[in-house]
Chain A
């Protein structure tokens, strides 16, 4: 598929676009400010795929390669947005504020969303790559261009912080 795209095959590109649009857009809309940002990154990403399909090496899965491109585009956009408004950081004193927020939230899902938004971006992304997109630890390391151990550590911190926010009494129930 990528070889056809690198040869300028529009039909192949169309197929790839349709195959990846949903996966990318849904994921990206979760970690950005919403659908508009997500669509922008999806288009960016698949445009880069069109241009660089010839650079793909079979060492990695196609989905991992494409997700890596999306990840770097998302980082840029999110970091640019973050310079305008203070977002996505949960350190020290903020933890308390979040816990209060959490108490006021209507349900577990909302509390979880709030807690997720306050996770450091890298931790949030590892969580989403793992649970939302079912990537392996090694694939995430490739996507994020970091050591596997860093992925595990980020995940560990993310879990710990979510637990601190959600607490025992608010242990998430599936479907509730």
Chain B
């Protein structure tokens, strides 16, 4: 035990720098100072081993993998929404960071759905974006024939770029889903259910099912008409 709780621990400044000696970020003068201290302080030498072991353990935190695509798609979609509504020359808007909180994120998604529904159904896809920015018509819009009235819960989903149109049609058909809007620049589709699903348990089951599909990179609920599924 190197730091003695009874009070014989080394309290030199070099001892306090030890962790950054271990991670290699000390400026040369400080590193030199710690090296010299280590030569004659057994307490700190023992500490050094301990801290190295601690660092190794902390850095070795298992094979957790994070898929950035979902968050990236959401962020890009959010940028879409933001820039669509704003004249580009204006000063940046006051940060609305708190709107990313989950409950209000749902509100935001809801607004996005409404905007997209209007854009497609009424005005066509001529919503003003940034000048010079291409806003291509949604490629898969025609997959669903008669577009049903949007009721109940909507979902937002991102599919694997390599997914074929046939596969997408099959995936949606099997779950009685149709495309309300999309894809956005970020590849986000808004999906509706042919049999309106408003029950939270069924929405969750649908989401779980979708997320389990290898070609679905991302799926999350989007509420419309004040329907809350959380």
Contact = CB atoms under 8 A, between A and B. Distances in A.
Contacts of A152: 16-17
Contacts of B100: 40, 43-44, 47
B26 A136 contact: yes
A14 B17 contact: no
Q: Interface extent on A, as a size class? A: 35 or more
A67 interface: no
B25 A135 contact: yes
A127 B52 CA distance: 12
A106 interface: no
A50 B88 CA distance: 14
Contacts of B56: 174-175
Contact of B66 (A26, A108, A128): A26
A10 B72 contact: no
Contacts of B53: 171-174
B225 interface: no
Given A167-B1, A175-B56, A137 B66 contact: no
Interface string A133-176: 01111010000000000001101100110111001100111110
Interface string B21-58: 01111100000000000000000000100111111111
A173 B60 CA distance: 12
A112 B57 contact: yes
A18 B68 contact: yes
Interface of A: 8, 10, 13-14, 17-18, 21-22, 25-26, 29-30, 35, 39-40, 42-44, 46-48, 50-52, 54, 73, 108-109, 112, 127-128, 130-132, 134-137, 139, 152-153, 155-156, 159-160, 162-164, 167-168, 171-175
In the complex, the 4 A-B pairs of residues with the closest C-beta atoms, listed nearest first: A136-B25, A21-B68, A174-B56, A168-B1
Interface of B: 1-3, 5, 15-17, 19-20, 22-26, 47, 50-61, 64, 66, 68, 70-72, 74-76, 78-79, 83, 88, 92-93, 95, 97, 100-102, 130, 185
